[in-house]
Amino acid sequence: MISNRQHLAAGTLIGDQYRIVKLIGQGGMARVYLATDQQNGGSVAIKIMKAELSNDQEFIKRFDTEARAASSLDHPNIVKVLDHGQDGELRYIVQELVEGQTLKALIDHRGPLPWTVAVPLTIQIGLALEHAHRHGVVHRDIKPHNILLTEDMVAKVTDFGIARAVNTNTITLTSGITLGSVHYFSPEQARGSIVSEKSDIYSLGIMLYEMITGQVPFDGETSVAIAIKHLQEMPPLPSTINHNIPPGLDNIIQKCIQKSPDNRYTDVRQLVDELDAFMIDPDGIYGVLIHNYDGEAGTSAIGLKRFDPNYEKIRDIEKAIVNRRRSRQRDVVIVVTIILLSLVFLTSIGVWTYQKLSESMARPTQNEITIDNYIGRKITEVKPLLESADIPYKIVYQSSDTVDRNIVINLSPPAGTTIKMGGTTVLHVYVSAGQEKYILDNYSGWTYEKAKATIESLNLGFVVLRSLEPSDDFKVGTIIKTIPEQGAEIRYGDTITLVVCGGKATVIVPNLAGKSLREVRELFSNELHLIVGTLTNMHVDLVTGEPVEVDEKNRVVIKQGVAPGTEVMYQTTIPLTYGTREDYYYFLNPTPTPTPEPSPTPTPEPTPEPSPTPTPTPTPDPTPTPDPTPTPTPTPPSPGFDAD
C-alpha cells in the first residue's frame, strides 16, 4: 500500500503494474509521471492526484469523473485512458503517452498560427468533441492547455476532470458555481447555469480566436472582470488583429461565441462541416445567424443578445477559483499577515504613502515594464533594446508587399502593454520578409528530423508539418516529397509539409488470436500500420447468456476479421472479436456441450441365420449353400467438435 506523498520516486510500483520513471508534468489537480507498464513493457503516462487534495471530496469527485468520462471514449483525437484505480492513498489514471507539446505551448512559442494550420486543428478537436457529445459527455474546460499535439500535428483532447454526463446535474464547487477556466468558459458557465454541448462550442471558438490572433479575446485584471466581458461584450474581429484572416473565418468564430447558446451552431458536427467547407472555399459565406428575440426572427452574419449578469455568482466564481488554489493553513497565514501589514501601513505611512501610490499609479512598478512602439524600426535596432530591457521575445517573419525587409510590422502584445519582468509573457515581434521568395530545396531521402531542423534554422518563419504515406521505394522515416514540391517559390512564413514514408504499401496480416488487445493496438500502430476495426465482445454470462463487458486490460483477441497470412493495403481496418483469456482457451479446446449424452446407436440385431434346409433326398453331389454374410456392427460415433 502506498501513502500519498508529495513526489513519487523512480521505481515506485503503482497498482502492481506501473513502475514510475520520472515526473513529466503537473497541473492544479494532479502530477503526471512517465511510467512503464510491467505487463507489456510499454510506456504510459500516469496521472496521480496531489496529496494535498486527497481529503477534498470535491476534487476526488472531479478526479473520478475524469477517469469515468475519458475511459468511456475511444477516438483518435482523444487521449486514451487505459486504466484507473486506487493504490493505498493514491488515486491514479493511466493514459496513453503522447509525445509532443500542448497547443498553448505552440501558441506561446510560435505566436499566431496561420489559419491553414489552426482550422485543421480545430476540425480535429471538433471531431473529438462530437464523439464525446455522442456518448453523453460535455467537456466544459476546452482550452489550449488541454489539447496535446503530436509531432505529426495530431490534436488530442485531454483532461476531462470537470466533464459531466448530459443527463445529470452539473458538477459544482461547494458554493454552487460551475467550474471552468475563466478565459475560455461560456456565458452560461459565468452565470452558473446548467451547460450543454454548446458550451464546448463557445470555448472552441474562443480557442480558435486565440490560435489565429495569438491572444485571448477577453482579458482583465481579475477573473470577475473577464467573466463580465464574456457576458456583455463581443471581441474585435480576428481579422482586425491578423489581416490575413478571411472574413468567412471571422463569421464562423463570431457564431461560435454568441452569448445565447441558441444562436451558436446546432452541434459540433455542423461547425466541423462548415470549417471543412471553408478550407475548400475560403471566400464563401459562413457563420450566418438566425436570431429570435422575443419572437422576432432575423438573419445576420454576427449578432449579440445581451444578458444581465448575476454579479453575486460571478464574485462566487472569483472566490471559488482563489480559494481552491490555497490551502487552509496558507489562508490563515496570508489573512493575518495582510491585516498586520495593513495596520502598520495605515498608521505609519499615512497621507505621504497615499500620495506616492497615486503618483506611481500612472507608471509601471519596478517589476513591470511597458512595451515601446518598435513598429517601423529595423529589427537590428530593436533586438539590442529588447535584450537590454530583459524582455523575452520571438521574431516571426511575415511576407509583405508594402514594407521593406527586416522592418518591424507588428507586436503582440501591442505597444503600450505593461508586462511583468521575468514573467511568462513572450513578445512576438513580426518582421517583414519583404517580397522576397524562397526556393524550396529537395529534401527527398532525408530524415524528417534533419529536414525540419534545417528548415527551422533558416529562421524564415516556416511552419513545418509532417504527414505519413506508404512507399516501397523509401526507407521508413525518410522523406518522400514535400508540399509544395521542391523548386517551388514560397513566401516567408508559409507552411511546408514533409511527406514521410510510413512503411510499405502492403502488409501481411499475422495471427492475432491469443494476443491482448493492447498488444494488438501497439502492433498495428508501431509496426503494421493497420487500424483496429469493429470490436465484438463474445464474453457472456454462463447462466443468463447475456454479454458481459471485459476490462480493457483483460481483453484477449479470439478471432480476426481478416485471415492470417492475407496481404492487405496499408491502413486497412481489421475487425476483431475479443473475450477473456478463458474464452480464448475454450475457443481452442471446446468442451462437449453439457447436454444429456446421446443414446448410443443400438447395435442392430444380427440377421437370423436361415433355417437349415431339410436334408434333401440325396442326389449326386449337391452344391452347398454358402453361409450368409454377417451384417457388420456399426461403430459408435466419436464425440465431434463444432467447426468455427
Task: Determine the pLDDT at residue 588.
Answer: 66
pLDDT at 457 over 50: yes
- Tell me, yes or no, whether 207 and 294 share the same domain: yes
pLDDT at 303 over 70: no
Answer whether residue 305 is part of any domain: yes
Asked whether the whole model's pTM tops 0.85, one would answer: no
Task: Determine the pLDDT at residue 445.
Answer: 92
Answer whether residue 631 is part of any domain: no
Give the pLDDT mean for 132-155.
89
Answer whether residue 86 is part of any domain: yes
pLDDT at 602 over 70: no
- Tell me, yes or no, whether 349 and 395 share the same domain: no
Q: Which of 55, 81, 97 is the last residue of a domain?
A: 97
E strand intervals along 43-176: 43-49, 81-87, 90-96, 100-102, 137-138, 147-150, 155-157, 164-165
The residue with greater pLDDT, 48 or 89, is 48
Question: Which residues 6+ apart lie within 8 Å of 475 measured at CB?
Answer: 501
Task: Give me the DSSP letters along 573-603.
Answer: EEEEEEE-HHHHHHHHSPPPPSSPPPPPPPP
Give the pLDDT mean for 307-316.
50
Give the pLDDT mean for 288-305.
47
pLDDT at 357 over 70: no
Grid cell locating 133: 457529445
Give the neighbor-by-neighbor strand order of the sheet with 427-432. Answer: 393-398, 427-432, 408-412
Of the pLDDT bands very low, low, confident and very high (cuts 50, 70, 90), residue 163 is very low
Contact 179, 208 (CB under 8 A): no
Task: Determine the pLDDT at residue 413.
Answer: 82
CA–CA gap between residue 282 and residue 247 (Å, rounded): 8
Task: Determine the pLDDT at residue 203.
Answer: 96
Of 141, 159, 267, 583, the active-site residue reads: 141
- Tell me, yes or no, whether 485 and 373 share the same domain: no
Grid cell locating 46: 500516469
Give the pLDDT mean for 374-382.
91
CA–CA gap between residue 51 and residue 30 (Å, rounded): 9
Q: Which of 547, 568, 588 is the last residue of a domain?
A: 588
Answer whether residue 601 is part of any domain: no
Q: Strand 479-483 relative to strand 18-26: parallel, antiparallel, unpaired?
A: unpaired
Q: What are the angstrom distances between the C-alpha of 499 and each of 140, 534, 551?
A: 36, 29, 38
CA–CA gap between residue 305 and residue 298 (Å, rounded): 12
Of the pLDDT bands very low, low, confident and very high (cuts 50, 70, 90), residue 556 is very high
Q: Tell me which H or E stretch contains 551.
A: none
CATH number (domain holding residue 23): 3.30.200.20
CATH number (domain holding residue 495): 3.30.10.20
Question: Which residues 6+ apart lie within 8 Å of 311 measured at CB?
Answer: none
pLDDT digits (tens, 9 = 90+) for 613-638: 454 545 455 444 444 444 444 444 44
CA–CA gap between residue 254 and residue 285 (Å, rounded): 13
Task: Determine the pLDDT at residue 351.
Answer: 52
pLDDT digits (tens, 9 = 90+) for 568-585: 877 788 999 999 988 887
CA–CA gap between residue 363 and residue 87 (Å, rounded): 54
Task: Determine the pLDDT at residue 65.
Answer: 67
Task: Determine the pLDDT at residue 91.
Answer: 84
pLDDT at 197 over 50: yes
Which of 199-208, 316-325, 569-578 shows the lowest per-residue confidence on average (mean pLDDT)?
Answer: 316-325
The residue with greater pLDDT, 137 or 576, is 576
Answer whether residue 547 is part of any domain: yes
- Tell me, yes or no, whether 455 and 535 share the same domain: no
Question: Which residues 6+ apart lie within 8 Å of 343 measured at CB?
Answer: none
Of the pLDDT bands very low, low, confident and very high (cuts 50, 70, 90), residue 360 is very low
- Tell me, yes or no, whether 443 and 474 share the same domain: yes
Answer whether residue 630 is part of any domain: no
Total number of domains in the chain: 6
> What is the overall mean pLDDT for the chain?
77
Catalytic-residue membership of 141: yes
- Tell me, yes or no, whether 421 and 393 share the same domain: yes
- Tell me, yes or no, whether 414 and 302 share the same domain: no
CA–CA gap between residue 167 and residue 476 (Å, rounded): 47
Which of 266-270, 303-307, 430-434 shows the lowest per-residue confidence on average (mean pLDDT)?
Answer: 303-307
Of the pLDDT bands very low, low, confident and very high (cuts 50, 70, 90), residue 308 is very low
- Tell me, yes or no, whether 233 and 111 share the same domain: yes
pLDDT at 61 over 80: no
Task: Determine the pLDDT at residue 595.
Answer: 47
Answer whether residue 189 is part of any domain: yes
Amino acid letter, 174: T
User: Could you tell me the residue range of the domain that residue 180 belongs to?
Assistant: 100-325
Task: Determine the pLDDT at residue 289.
Answer: 75
pLDDT at 311 over 70: no
Answer whether residue 74 is part of any domain: yes
pLDDT at 379 over 80: yes
- Tell me, yes or no, whether 237 and 281 share the same domain: yes
CATH number (domain holding residue 192): 1.10.510.10
Give the pLDDT mean for 196-208.
95
- Tell me, yes or no, whether 67 and 147 share the same domain: no
State what percent of residues in the chain have pLDDT above 90.
27
Grid cell locating 85: 484505480
Amino acid letter, 154: V
pLDDT at 151 over 70: yes
Crossing angle between the packed helical segments 311-324 and 223-232, to the nearest 10 degrees: 140
Q: Which of 317, 338, 360 is the last residue of a domain?
A: 360
- Tell me, yes or no, whether 176 and 237 share the same domain: yes
- Tell me, yes or no, whether 491 and 349 share the same domain: no
pLDDT digits (tens, 9 = 90+) for 390-408: 888 888 777 777 888 889 9
